[in-house]
Each structure stands twice: as structure tokens, then as C-alpha cells.
Chains A and B, each alone.
Chain A
Amino acid sequence: MKMTKTLNGGNMTIALEGRLDTMTAPELETELSKSLGGAESLTLDFSNLEYISSAGLRVLLAAHKNMVKKGGMKVLHVNEVVQEVFEVTGFADILTIE
């Protein structure tokens, strides 16, 4: 998985490319724990994300809980497979998906 990070004002955008699964979720977790301290809000760009498994959901939930106290977290451009995972697991009701 490839991650591209952009800080714009107080908003941190992380664009993910590839698969967010058991092997790669820890990479995102590490990146978030390093970068989120200085960010007011978080945007996750999933334009090039192929799929997400429950290991990825775990990291998203932790990030969401962290950012809800600040400026919030948004997930952008999810594909059909990712959207289905969010809906089946009820994450669609928790996350802000645009």
C-alpha cells in the first residue's frame, strides 16, 4: 500500500493506494499516530484504494474516535467494494463518507 500525505492548513489528507488489510493496516496506524498530533481534521482519500478488511476498519475506528474530539474525519471517493464493507459493518453510519 502506498500513502501520500498532504497538510493543508490544519487539515491532514492521506491518500491510500492499494489494499488496506492485515498486512498494511499497521502502516496506516503508525502514520496516523505520527501525523495526527499537528492536524485539526483528517481526510482519507480512497480514490485508489482497492479494498478494506476488518484490520483496516479497526484503524479507521481509532482515527475516528481520535478526530471526533477535534475537527473530525472524512473519507472520500470510496469504491463499490469499500462502500459495501462500510454498509455491512455499520461503519457507514459512523463515518462521514463523501
Chain B
Amino acid sequence: MKELTLQAQIENIPRVTAFIDEQLEALDCPMKPQMQMDVAIDEMFCNISRYAYAPDVGEATVRFEFDESTRMASVTFIDSGVPFNPLSRQDPDVTAPSHEREVGGLGIFLVRKTMDQMEYRYENGKNILTIRKKI
């Protein structure tokens, strides 16, 4: 298990991506799941940065775990901001004509579709969100 704790700010997304990429590259992760994981990080860490502590800034921890037997890579995002369950959001309409399209909610939807598992729990005042991808 490896962890990185930093300020939840969008300027820090590249640091989180670099941290996860380093772990995935050490495991010889193929390019496609790595890119999918990077997109998921962009979506989830951006959400935490924008909403968890707004208008203040707080810390978030990003934890990487890997299960050898299943080759499942897990990234867990932990913050102490306002409780928010991304899995409770209604799916956006992805069939609407372009003039009626809205991009709100698309990020979480995209992560749900491209990751193998997604879990959320609120525990001891913390949002704990885990995404998993077989690599």
C-alpha cells in the first residue's frame, strides 16, 4: 500500500496522476487501463477539489493498493469534506441531441463505466471512495 496526502486542489491533479502512474508502470500495467485510471483520477480528484471543502481548501489522501492474485489495482480517495456519495447521482442523459446536452455528471458516469468496481462509504467523518481496475 502506498499513500499520498496533499491539498485537494485542481493544481495538484498532475501530482496524483504521476503518483498513480508510477505505481502502475512498476506493475507493467498496459497503456489502456493506465489511461482509463488517469481519466478516473482527473474526474474524482477534480470533484473533491471543487466541492469537498468549498469555499475552503482541505487535504485529501490518495491510496494505491494492488492485489497480485487478481491483478486488481485500487485507488482510494479519502477526504474530510462534506459527505458526498458519487454513486447516488442519477445517470446523465447520454442520448439527448447536442443542443440539450449538459456535461454535468458525465465525469462520474464515465468513471463508473470504465472502472471494474466503484465503492463509496462515509466513515468517521470521511468520504472514502475506491475505484478498482484489473490491469
Contact = CB atoms under 8 A, between A and B. Distances in A.
Interface of A: 19, 21-23, 50-55, 57-58, 61, 64-65, 68, 80-81, 84-85, 88-90, 93-94
Contact of A81 (B32, B95, B101, B109): B32
A52 B36 CA distance: 9
B103 A57 contact: yes
5 contacts: A51-B39, A52-B39, A85-B114, A88-B109, A88-B110
A71 to B, nearest CB: 16
A73 to B, nearest CB: 11
A24 to B, nearest CB: 10
A61 B46 contact: no
Interface string B28-56: 00001001101100110010000000000
Contact of A68 (B32, B43, B98, B101): B98
Interface of chain B: mostly helix, strand, loop or mixed: helix
Contacts of A61: 98, 101, 103
Interface residues of B, number: 26
A23 B39 contact: no
A81 B106 contact: no
Interface of chain A: mostly helix, strand, loop or mixed: helix
Given A23-B14, A55-B42, A81-B35, A90 B103 contact: no
A55 B113 CA distance: 17
Interface in B102-128: 103, 106-107, 109-110, 113-114
A50 B49 CA distance: 23
Given A22-B10, A23-B14, A94-B98, A54 B35 contact: no
A83 B36 CA distance: 12
B13 interface: yes
B22 interface: no
B99 interface: yes
B39 A90 contact: no
B67 interface: no
A91 to B, nearest CB: 8
